[in-house]
Amino acid sequence: MSLEIRKSIDSDRSLINHIHEQAFGLENSREIITLINDLLQDQTAEPCCSLVAIQQSKIVGHILFSNVKIISDQGVISASILAPLAVIPAAQNQGIGGQLIHDGINQLKAMGVPVVFVLGYPEYYTRYGFEPAFPRGYIPPYPIVKAQSDAWMVNILDADLARKYQGKIHCADAFNHPEYWRE
Ligand SMILES: CC(C)(COP(=O)(O)OP(=O)(O)OC[C@H]1O[C@@H](n2cnc3c(N)ncnc32)[C@H](O)[C@@H]1OP(=O)(O)O)[C@@H](O)C(=O)NCCC(=O)NCCS
């Protein structure tokens, strides 16, 4: 089935909310929808990259990347974080999540973003170029319990900058709440 990935527009907003409701369930999606709507209005989250996947004229998936800063001994540079990602149950396991990640990462690379973080399922995101971030020297904004430390991952897009700039990550204001940092 053909798939189109494009940047989201304002009028997609309620359909995007619906994608997350279906993927995460009504209860769990509340927090996620709040995060999306807050990030899309937050200047400290810019540049954001919000993409939707369209199959048979219907939005079936959504991914959002927002800006973070790496505070390192060498100075401060901008990077990006992936959150959230959702594909409706009826369209899962067709590679749509992977395509959203792939296209988003390519757009960020073209913008010169050196690294992209995610806090998520290690078995899933390592398929798409992510690796554990702690061994690379990246510290998340909030502590992550040791048993879940592999969930804190990074995708290296510029190896030289990634080597030079390591340290603590500062996320956008909208993301800077401990409840968003539990895996
Ligand atoms: C996770 C999610 C985005 C994957 O979307 P998708 O379009 O089905 O993903 P893809 O088709 O690219 O990949 C499917 C593969 O990933 C695997 N996979 C899906 N969720 C996984 C998970 N949580 N952990 C490990 N592997 C997972 C599937 O089993 C499938 O494996 P296979 O190719 O060996 O059959 C989708 O299942 C979803 O929206 N889930 C609910 C919301 C969610 O958990 N979002 C991620 C938050 S970190």
Q: State whether the beta carbon of 126 lies less than 6 angstroms from ligand 1.
A: no
Give the distance (Å) from ligand 1 centre to CA of residue 89.
10
Domain count for the chain: 1
Is the CB of 121 inside a 6 Å radius of any atom of ligand 1? Answer: yes
State if residue 59 touches ligand 1 by the CB under 6 angstroms criterion.
no
pLDDT in tens, 80-106: 999 999 999 999 999 999 999 999 999
Q: Please say whether the beta carbons of 167 and 73 come within 8 A.
A: yes
pLDDT averaged over every residue in the chain: 97
CA distance 149 to 133: 9
Please give the residue range of the domain that contains residue 9. 4-181
Q: Name which residue sits closest to atom 29 of ligand 1, judged by CA.
A: 93
In this prediction, residue 155 carries a pLDDT of 98
Distance CA 68, CA 169 (A): 7
Residue nearest to atom 9 of ligand 1 (CA): 97
Distance, CA 26 to ligand 1 centroid (Å)?
Answer: 18
22 lines ligand 1 (CB under 6 A): no
For residue range 119-172, list pLDDT tens digits in order: 999 999 999 999 999 999 999 999 999 999 999 999 999 999 999 999 999 999
pLDDT of residue 182: 82
Residue 127 alpha carbon, nearest atom of ligand 1: 16
How far apart CA 59 and CA 79 sit, in angstroms, is 27
What string of DSSP letters covers 60-104?
EEEEEEEEEEEEETTEEEEEEEEEEEEE-GGGTTSSHHHHHHHHH
Axis-axis angle for helices 13-24, 26-39 (nearest 10): 140
Answer for the pair 106, 128: CB distance below 8 angstroms, yes or no.
Answer: no
Give one DSSP letter per residue of 96-142, joined into a string.
HHHHHHHHHHHHHHHTT--EEEEES-HHHHGGGT-EESGGGTEEPSS
Q: Are 169 and 117 in contact (CB under 8 A)?
A: yes
Can you give the CATH number for the domain in which 97 is found?
3.40.630.30
CB of 92 closer than 6 angstroms to any ligand 1 atom: yes
